Amino acid sequence: ILRQIRKFNWADADFRSYAIKCLAAPYSVKFNSIQCLASILSGLSHFYDDVAIEVLDNVLDDIRLGLEINIPKFNQRRLCMIKYLGELYNYRVVDSIIIFRTLYLLITYGVSLEPSEISDLDPPEHLFRIRLVCTLLDSCGQYFDRGTSKKRLDCFLIYFQVKEILFFKLKTRK
């Protein structure tokens, strides 16, 4: 498939824009096929590095937008985007720094550290972000088994447990 995709006219701005839009939409394919989409982007990145960068930028923007617009009907889309990001790491399109920044973003964006304040973006009874973190770690966490990545993962897991368990208990007591 990659060989056929490479034959397209990537110099055509309209085609390029449409291809980037399709490659940045993992919610358009079956959940179990997201890794195939990541594989295609990985193969393309060797020939069209700017395409991979633009797709990754769109994916990260969509993840952030999903955190800003906390509407349950977009949860499946958000789950697909997170899975895609993890698969892009597996295919070495993304560095571990981006994965860890996204993990911390998932648990800190729009969160009030004041126990008396309840955030509209992350209310205490809304546990979907935990699922997003687990999906991302399920996709690529197995590769954080040595070196600085392992240390970063260990640090994140401690922070994640403390943040999600303790803050949830503090906020639900009221």
Q: What is the pLDDT of residue 146?
A: 94
Q: What is the pLDDT of residue 108?
A: 87
Q: What is the pLDDT of residue 34?
A: 98
The DSSP secondary structure of the chain, one letter per residue, reads -HHHHHTS-TT-HHHHHHHHHHHT-GGGS-GGGHHHHHHHHHHHHTT-HHHHHHHHHHHHHHHHHHHHS--GGGHHHHHHHHHHHHHHHHTTSS-HHHHHHHHHHHHHTT--SSTT---SSS-TT--HHHHHHHHHHHHHGGG--SHHHHHHHHHHHHHHHIIIIIHHHHHHT-
Residue 89 has pLDDT above 70, yes or no: yes
Instruction: Note the pLDDT tens digit of each residue in 133-172.
Output: 999 999 999 999 999 999 999 999 999 988 766 666 555 5
Q: What is the pLDDT of residue 30?
A: 97
Q: What is the pLDDT of residue 111?
A: 76
Q: What is the pLDDT of residue 161?
A: 87
Q: Which residue segments constitute the domains of the chain, with CATH numbers given?
A: 2-172 (1.25.40.180)
Q: What is the pLDDT of residue 168?
A: 60
Assign 22 a pLDDT band (cuts: 50, 70, 90).
very high
The answer, as to whether pTM is greater than 0.85, is yes
Q: Structure tokens of 63?
A: 């993840």
Instruction: Note the pLDDT tens digit of each residue in 100-140.
Output: 999 999 988 887 667 677 777 777 777 899 999 999 999 99
Mean pLDDT of 21-31: 97
Instruction: Note the pLDDT tens digit of each residue in 28-76.
Output: 999 999 999 999 999 999 999 999 999 999 999 999 999 998 889 999 9
Q: What is the pLDDT of residue 157?
A: 95
Q: What is the pLDDT of residue 174?
A: 53
